[in-house]
Structure 1
Amino acid sequence: MSIRFDGQVAIVTGAGNGLGRSHALALAARGAKVVVNDLGGARDGAGASSEAAKAVVAEIVASGGEAIAHGANVAVMSEVEDMVKQAVDAWGRVDILVNNAGILRDKSFTKMSLDDFKLVMDVHLMGSVNCTKAVWDLMKEQQYGRIVMTTSSSGMYGNFGQANYGAAKMAVVGLMNTLGLEGAKYNVRVNSLAPTAATRMTEDLMPEEILAMLVPEAVTAGALLLCHDGAPSRHILCAGGGGYASSRIFETEGVYLDPSQQTPEAVAEHWDEICNTDRQAPLENGAKQSEKFLLKAQAFLQQNNA
């Protein structure tokens, strides 16, 4: 199978450097017309410059591709709407959105200001919300769309000093789960990428010899699968250093406690059974949890009324 994007239009946010740049270049090399979005700020979100995005566009054009730069701050909806309008004005549609833009303001929760918490949430979560909202109806109308959220192991598993970043990165998984359901009948598929790569976001977090192994292009290989016509939906693809894995949220089978046992003491007594993973399974949607518990309750009632 050859993965190509000929005739398709992609928006990649935070594409002036690192992973976003790698995603944008690879999409263009495989035929996509690309909006290279980058505010051009520092790693902590301060400042702005269009030079990085323009440099990526120049590289794409020099290789025979088509691209435009846009400096929208993804946390500002009016700027995002202008970016999408420019894409549609230039090429008539938007097929792919890669929500990659992000910043870091790491500190322990004790030392972290609420302003720093909110800013990271605004860029990672609301930036993804804004960009997705701006293309959502377009994709529904054209009966086609591929959206990639960028999550993180920091959100799924936690990481010291990243309460703001981790909260935002887990939030986009919840966004993915619901939008994947809502977009299904319109052929709009939504997935998440959990990357590990050597970028300016990680340059002072790992030794040089480790960073040398974590090339962005290895992550981009996974990202492009999620952008493709044959992409799954509502999956988390983890990628880094040539390794690829899938992460999903599973729920144990659990137990049913009859009304006389529905006490904290009984829950504690059955804790090992509640946590038993032998029959754990992913749930298709939130209602499936309620369905599971109600079926257990009905089975108890039927047994006791027989």
Structure 2
Amino acid sequence: MPLSQINQKIILVLFLVFVISALYILSANKEKYSDTFLGNDNSSITNVHPGDSIQQAINNTSPCGTVTVYPGLYKENLVVNRPLIIISNPGETNNTIVQAADPEEDVFNVTADNVTISGFNIKGTTSKAGIYCSGSGGNITGNKLSYNNYGVYLNDSNRSILENNEVNNNSVGIYLRNSSNNQLKSNKISCVGIFVGLDNNATGIYLEDSDNNKLMSSTISKLWDGVNLTDSSNNELNNNSILQNYLINSNNNKVLNNTIEKLGYSYSVVLANSQNNTLQGNTASPNTEIKVFYSFDSKNNTFEGERYTVNEQGSRCVYRER
């Protein structure tokens, strides 16, 4: 056989080997890293199944795309650095579990604006947050967050919505730091006696240096502290069922129409160096009365009720709401 024909056959065999290898690699990657395709608006849609990597799906999905995660256990620490919608298959919150692979890191670390995280069971970080968000305009909805140090931690995060989340057995349920104009609505925050953290306390919602936030229609129960505002002003707490509240160096806040339950403390609301706050329309749970304790440096606050006592060296007094 002429040499030229032999060379042609060798080239043909090598070409076929190359094609078969390429098809095998593409098939393997598709199986490992999920299915990615274009939606009607040309944004990426990626489906993630058990055994796939959610992080790889996030990396492979174009900005403003959607990552849909099917039920299963995913042990990962995720970084979200682009605007995405990350959702569980509808109705599968309890069964779509994202657990920290490294318990010393956040489960979700969101650095981008306009990120949606919805429908996950998020747990297992002993010192960080189930969802840590430093981006703005986010939507954290319909998640279950448990056995983390922080359930949700917003840091320099503005105009975000936290709604219909179930947050339990965390040291702090929801923590806002330097975060403003956020809405916290219809969340359920609780602890049943077991929580993560070194300190023997647990707080439902903690705002620090955070202004103009709205906390509405949420339930906080079975915790040491309900809502703590420190250096936080112009916030509104409305129509919640909550435990004790602390306002420290916090001004112009409104505590309205809440049901306040007392759990092992003498006072329902404590004000320290806090001015021009309004407490009106609040009611007590059964067998509880609302007592507002404030220090001498808390002035021009508006209460419904009567002065209860003036004592403790004349520096503090207590109001009892009707």
TM-score in terms of structure 2 length: 0.29
* Between structures 1 and 2, the one with greater strand share: 2
TM-score relative to the length of structure 1: 0.30
Structure richer in helix, relative to its length: 1
For the pair shown, which has the larger CA radius of gyration, 1 or 2? 2
